[in-house]
A and B are shown apart, each in its own frame.
Chain A
Amino acid sequence: MQSEIIKRTVELFNSEEIVRAIGWRKGDFDYDLNPSIFKSSEDLEKNFVYNDFSSANLSKFLIKISQKEDGKTLVFLKSCDTYSFNSLLQEHRISRDKIYIIGVPCEENLDPSKIKAALGEDVLSMSCDGETVTVETLDGTKTISKSEVILDRCLACKSRKHVVYDELFGEEGEVLDSKRFDQVEILENMKPEERYSFWRTELSRCIGCNACRDICPACTCEKCVFDNRDSGVENKVATNDFEENMFHIIRAFHVAGRCTDCGECSRVCPEDIPLHLLNRKFIKDINEFYGNYQAGDDIETLAPLTRFDAVDVEPSIVKTRENVK
């Protein structure tokens, strides 16, 4: 697949259809691919990689490029990434006419840290062939079944469908029945005290870096309120373990109704905090209260928090509903 994609992209470079491409650049290992800008077909031919570790969602990088640079940019989007793209388009953060999208097919991505946890840290290379992942280590070759090392977010993949593209490699996929709210439901069925202690354990690991926010394709403010000294909520200093509370609630709230559930926040968290559960809780609530809505599905439907209905439920429903303890 990689060679076909490169071949086609080189054609586009040569026909001057595009002037740059944003893709995944070869790293020192198979798994440490750096989202990067390719400015020539030579560079792309030599360094572009599309494999099981091309997990990074490239849509957010288009904001900076399409605002500042001239000429058409090519971007490679997996199915989940296309939702983020649509969402950015809807909010006028990127210009569609300056972007050429190649939709790339996505099986599940693999999680390097799961592989390392299972087979050791001395990994030299990883490759996946069908259902088996073969890993070269300093200790020799080892194998593990693919199903054990799939990225968490891909285990609850919501859609294999590319909602927007100019060109698509592979076959058109379908929206899946993902069961992605199962974990949220488990939490909802706990007692409040149990939920509190769950989140306390999780959030107390937060190191206060901003990876979850900065990688998020929906977090696109020029200046985040948490970076603004004058906002009064700048969050650099925490003195107890649970002060990240506010940041995480507001981070999730600010993308409520706009989050496409791409799962980048949890993927990049250095402490493996399941941040996507906060986002999914909002999505689940929105579906329940205001009808099913998938951000990025199309660019016409207004996001749930930017519209209303005269007969909406009252906030007191939080106290009276029966499906949450």
Chain B
Amino acid sequence: MSVKEKTEFQPKIVAFCCNWCSYAGADLAGTNRTNYPANVKIIRVPCSCRVNPIFILRAFQRGADGVIICGCHPGDCHYITGNYYTRRRMTLLFSMLDFLGIEKDRTRVEWVSASEGGRFAEVMTEFTNDVKAIGPNRKLEDLRCKAK
């Protein structure tokens, strides 16, 4: 790690990945030895529609700087329709966060299939850079959970 990387802001990124596509995509990125930022912490979920809006807000409250949800491409959901619901829910949730004045670049939904290891790495790199650019999350942070 270079000196520059050490001193610059390192965001905490939570990535919710669906078991069938995106998690396998991340796996493929790994087997292909494709690098993506170590800031990203993956949480595996059975389907992207398992992601409750509370999970996202909770991640922010507990100190995440960015949250990304990855699922199968629309039409390819392992459970046929799950990601269609995700799409509607997240559109509304993100719009609401924007309405409350939270930065738009902290949240994102991406469709990544099991064969798109390279794309997974690309998406994560891009997202991490976006979050780096807007700096640490202060607006949705929970002070209770902060150690002194």
Contacts and interface: CB of A to CB of B under 8 A. Distances in A.
Contacts of B19: none
Given A232-B58, A233-B54, A308 B104 contact: no
B24 to A, nearest CB: 22
A291 to B, nearest CB: 12
A188 B75 CA distance: 32
Interface string A187-220: 1100011111111000000000000000000000
B57 A250 contact: yes
Contact of B88 (A249, A278, A308): A308
A234 B142 CA distance: 13
A252 interface: yes
B91 A314 contact: yes
Of the four ranges (under 10, 10 to 19, 20 to 34, 35 or more), the interface on chain A belongs to 35 or more
A245 interface: yes
Interface string B59-75: 00100000000000011
A304 B95 CA distance: 15
Contact of A225 (B54, B87, B107, B144): B54
Given A225-B54, A239-B143, A282 B87 contact: no
B28 interface: no
Contacts of A197: 101
Main secondary structure of the interface of A (DSSP, over half): helix
24 contacts: A187-B99, A192-B102, A194-B101, A196-B101, A232-B58, A233-B54, A240-B143, A246-B57, A249-B53, A249-B100, A253-B92, A278-B96, A281-B96, A305-B89, A305-B92, A308-B88, A312-B87, A312-B88, A314-B91, A315-B87, A315-B107, A317-B91, A318-B104, A324-B99
Interface of A: 187-188, 192-199, 225, 231-233, 237, 239-240, 242-243, 245-246, 249-250, 252-253, 256, 278, 281-282, 285-286, 289-290, 304-305, 308-310, 312-319, 324
Interface of B: 53-54, 57-58, 61, 74-75, 81, 84-85, 87-105, 107-109, 139-140, 142-144
